[in-house]
Amino acid sequence: MRSGVWRSHRLRLLAGVWLVYSICPPFLSYDSYWSVATAVNLLERGTTQVDRFVAGAPREADYGLECVPAAGAPRKARVAEGCADGHWYSYFPVGTAVLALPLLAAMKVVVAVVAPLVPHTGFFARREVAGFFTGDLLVGRPLSELWCASTIGALTVWLQYEIGLLFLARRGAMWYALLFAFGTAEWSLVSRNLFPHGWTVLLLSGALYLLLRGRRLGLGGAGGSACVAGTPQALAGEAASSGIGGAGGFAVGLLLALAFAVRPSNAISCVVLTLYVALHERRRLAALVLGAAPVAVALAAYEILVRHALIPIYLTESKGSNGFWEGVAIHFFSPSRGLFVFTPVFLVSVAGVVLAWRRRWLGPLSSYLAAILLLHALLVMTIWPGHCFGPRYFADMTHLLMLFLIPAVQWWSERQGTARTVLAAGFLLLAAAGVFVNGRGATSLAVNQWSILPVNVDDAHWRVWEWRDAQFLRGLR
């Protein structure tokens, strides 16, 4: 009976988050244009070439193309230069397009069923909407991307609920999942389109859940609430857990390899978590490698046989840059790109990292997770964030930043009287600020036009420091 109620809560959470995500407007990026085109061509013609879409594509999307000649290495090329000696392919990693295939295939089936019931006037007469309901998922890209991203996002929120249940009572886990859903970039950025961040956070959350669940089961825990009141000694005892099983190790390897195929910067998580398993759960290492091997082999074969180069241009081409310390200031504190401005509750996560280390929370695993955060931050500090809403590059780390809230919450739950009340009030204030900011990003067209209006932020980096025109406040005056 109890498990039935839990399933009901899971279903309501999944459906409710999907509904909110799917009715908020899509905010498109040309980064994802060719991912959709690649997925559509794979679905309809079984190839990742996008030649047939190039002529009709918006010219602003040209930067996302590369020409792969019949022989020789691929090259970046503009459409005006042509690709007479080969075929056009998306410049971006192929993982996003491949993983989107089942969602787009299901979408085509649903559209075929409901299309006869859809009117041909008003909103439904708009080019993109009419195209979507005729089964043209590229013309209907706003809806195709939105509903794919909403589904990916809702599944990720469900996984966060499952992670929360490992440490918190059911109500606490629900609030934890809802904070992730609506108080972070998951709402404002990740669920709006087919950026690679959506698949990244889903896949890495899955791998994290399996690792955490293995440790939790190793303690013999049957319910999540027991961990809330756990003593520091009990938390430290988690180091003695039995870890993930063989099937779990295989799944962790598979998820990590898929995450790399979606976004190569996820190599940090792949390497660090593999090192953790090798050193602390050695019996599971073979299963993890076996899980990763099929994806690794398939990806390498694709790059060599189809793209004629093992290392894609995406990894070798220089990107917009800034100085390291300038990047620290921009990515963490600037009013239009700062992580702690857009999601201020993650200041508590910093305290959570310190508490996890001092209390040996999760044993050695927490140190490896903190190392992933640090290495990811070092990687992105010198990369100019460009066009996006807020701290886009930290969207990939949302699942870990959320996890490190838990030791801080556990610590404050041990306080008494006024101190506990003040700490709780401060946490709620920071969380509410994040919901407001990310709600603006998820619903406001003006906010999402900030990067280009009144002047392109790529040509005017100083704009990220303008408090009078902070991105999340655009349109309120």
Q: DSSP letters of 391-447?
A: -GGGGGGHHHHHHTHHHHHHHHHT--HHHHHHHHHHHHHHHHHHHHHHHHHHH-HHH
Evaluate whether residue 8 is within a structural domain.
no
Number of structural domains in the chain: 2
How many C-beta neighbours within 10 Å does residue 42 have?
Answer: 19
Task: Say what angle helices 141-165 and 33-45 make with each other, to 10 degrees.
Answer: 100
If asked whether residues 229 and 365 sit together in one domain, one would say: yes
Distance in angstroms (rounded) separating the CA atoms of residues 201 and 198: 6
The pLDDT of residue 228: 42
**Span 44-101, pLDDT tens digits:** 999 999 999 999 999 999 999 999 999 889 999 889 899 999 999 999 999 999 999 9
The pLDDT of residue 8: 81
Distance in angstroms (rounded) separating the CA atoms of residues 369 and 418: 32
If asked whether residues 394 and 434 sit together in one domain, one would say: yes
If asked whether residues 132 and 151 sit together in one domain, one would say: no
Tokens of 125: 């007469």
- What kind and span of H or E run contains 65? strand 65-69
Distance in angstroms (rounded) separating the CA atoms of residues 447 and 470: 9
Measured CA to CA in angstroms, residue 321 lies from 182, 329, 355, 474 at distances of 30, 14, 34, 26
pLDDT beneath 70, residues of the chain: 1-7, 216-246
Evaluate whether residue 90 is within a structural domain.
yes
Evaluate whether residue 13 is within a structural domain.
no
If asked whether residues 324 and 401 sit together in one domain, one would say: yes
If asked whether residues 196 and 118 sit together in one domain, one would say: no
Measured CA to CA in angstroms, residue 292 lies from 155, 196, 255, 295, 441 at distances of 22, 19, 8, 6, 35
The pLDDT of residue 317: 84
Q: Which domain holds residue 131?
A: 31-138
- Domain boundary residue, one of 117, 138, 159: 138
If asked whether residues 128 and 180 sit together in one domain, one would say: no
If asked whether residues 57 and 190 sit together in one domain, one would say: no
Evaluate whether residue 188 is within a structural domain.
yes
Q: Is the dihedral of CA 298, 301, 307, 310 positive or negative?
A: positive
Evaluate whether residue 387 is within a structural domain.
yes
If asked whether residues 172 and 122 sit together in one domain, one would say: no
Give the position of tokens 């499952």. 162
The pLDDT of residue 467: 94
Distance in angstroms (rounded) separating the CA atoms of residues 473 and 468: 9
If asked whether residues 220 and 133 sit together in one domain, one would say: no
Evaluate whether residue 55 is within a structural domain.
yes
If asked whether residues 290 and 315 sit together in one domain, one would say: yes
pTM, rounded to two decimals:
0.93
Tokens of 107: 């979408």
Measured CA to CA in angstroms, residue 396 lies from 40, 164, 269, 377 at distances of 25, 19, 10, 11
User: Is residue 364 within 8 Å of residue 280, measured between CB atoms?
Assistant: yes
Question: Strand, coil or helix: what is 259?
Answer: helix
- Domain boundary residue, one of 138, 165, 188: 138
Evaluate whether residue 247 is within a structural domain.
yes
Closest CA to 108 of 138, 128, 153: 138
The pLDDT of residue 242: 52
If asked whether residues 375 and 339 sit together in one domain, one would say: yes
If asked whether residues 90 and 204 sit together in one domain, one would say: no
Evaluate whether residue 24 is within a structural domain.
no
Give the position of tokens 């991912």. 35
The pLDDT of residue 156: 98
- Domain boundary residue, one of 138, 159, 185: 138
The pLDDT of residue 237: 39
